[in-house]
Structures are given as structure tokens and as C-alpha cells.
Amino acid sequence: MTLRVLAVCGMLLALGCSNGVEPGGAPAGYFTARVTGTQSLRLKGSASTFIISTEVDTLYAVGMAETPGPEERRSVILTCPGRAAPGVGTHAIGHGAECQGIYSRTIGTPSTGLAREDGLDADTGSVTVTRRTDHDLVGNFRLQGTMTSFGYPAGPLTVTGTFSALPGQ
């Protein structure tokens, strides 16, 4: 299993509540994003930070999720190496870069069958951290690359957005 798949799995666990409220009633962080190119969408939803540990690596992640309906989920995940948030400043995203970025859109449910799965494993981009505290991580991001639909290239895609992420529980 790749680190990207693990990251998405971890994000789904960390962002299991789609109404923006974490267990125990504390509000989640938030994000907004714009998807352009092969798809054209505006996203907004909850944002959390969490740590993903595997046998070979530890990643600090910002997971962002929007669930516009019971059968659709849109997610953005940013990962950087280590157990601590990246420092204030701009960090490169892409294959072989310091950090990685993923966008995914899933339509369908296990009970009705998966109708569509689109994604972007960013070729290039950046994440800029503007504030880093024990209580939140604030910044913006840009992901660029070729969107895939069911694993096949579908065209160029750019995802830009901002986030104010709170630690996941």
C-alpha cells in the first residue's frame, strides 16, 4: 500500500464527521478550494491535521473534506515528512518534492456501487503556511497535474485553496 493511499485512509478516519463537528461537539477547522480544468468545482468543508505512521515513514497531514451529499465526497490531502507541521513559509509539492498533494472526488457508495472516482496526484504545486500554532495550521495551496478518472488520464487539473486546520482527535 502506498503512502498516498495510507494518507487518504487516515484522512477519512480523521474527517469521519461530514457536518463539520468533531466527536464531543468541538468545531472542526475549515477549507475552501476551487477546482479548474477538466472539472470545475468550488469546495468548502472541514479541515484537520493528523499524523500518519507506517513502517517506513511518518507524515504530517492536512486533510480537507467536503461531502455535498450522501453519495459524493471531495477531498484534498497535503502531506509533509515528519511528526510536526511544516514551518511558516512556502513548501514545494510534487513528485520528488518536500511535500505531496492529492485531490479526489468519489461519487457513489458501497451500498449503491461506485459510480465514479476521479483524482489528482499533484505533479507540481506548493503549500504556504502562514500561521503555525499548537491550536491550528493556516495557509493556502496550489496543486497541478493530470486528473485521472478510474485510473485513466482525463486532462489537466488545478486545485487552489485556503485552510485553517485544527488537530484531529
Where in the chain are the domains? 3-12+30-167
What is the number of other CB atoms lying within 10 angstroms of the CB of residue 26?
9
Cell numbers describing residue 131: 500561521
The residue-averaged pLDDT of 91-116 equals 85
**pTM: predicted TM-score of the whole model, two decimal places:** 0.82
Q: Can you count the helices (H) and strands (E) in the chain?
A: 1, 10
Residue 43's contacts (CB-CB under 8 Å, 6 or more residues apart) are 31, 32, 33, 34, 35, 64, 66, 74, 76, 161
Q: Is the pLDDT of residue 2 over 60?
A: no
pLDDT in tens, 58-91: 999 999 999 988 888 999 999 999 999 999 999 9
pLDDT in tens, 8-63: 444 444 444 333 434 444 456 999 999 999 999 999 999 999 999 988 899 999 99
Backbone angles phi, psi at 8, to 5 degrees: -65, -40
